[in-house]
Amino acid sequence: MKMPRSAPPPAPSLSWAYFLDVDGTLINIADTPQAIVVDTALLELIASLHRASGGAVALVSGRMISDLQSRIGLSQLPLAGLHGLERRDSTGRLWIHA
């Protein structure tokens, strides 16, 4: 059976926001959570997307924000840790769900 050809994805728009999953998506799963390898080229790509999108990039992780921050740097990025129970906005303000 021949599958219909899908249309190519739309061109990026400045009206988009990007929410990027970290562990297992941007960074490969490792034997232990501490053993992950964060590639500098990846960090440069994320920083470039952050600039090109006018700051509309956030990283999402199951890790605590403090752990994520210590591994990736990029202090200007909004982060969601513990699957959204912790959030850091673009001003650096931390929100922690009770």
* Residues forming a β-bridge with 80: 60, 87
pTM attached to this predicted model:
0.82
Domain boundaries defined on the chain = 18-96
Closest CA relative to residue 49, chosen from 75, 19, 28, 21: 19
22-81 tens-digit pLDDT? 999 999 999 988 899 999 999 999 999 998 888 999 999 999 999 999 999 888 899 999
Distance CA 55, CA 35 (A): 29
Distance CA 86, CA 34 (A): 20
Question: The domain 18-96: what is its CATH number?
Answer: 3.40.50.1000
**Residue 89 a catalytic site member:** no
66-80 tens-digit pLDDT? 999 999 988 889 999
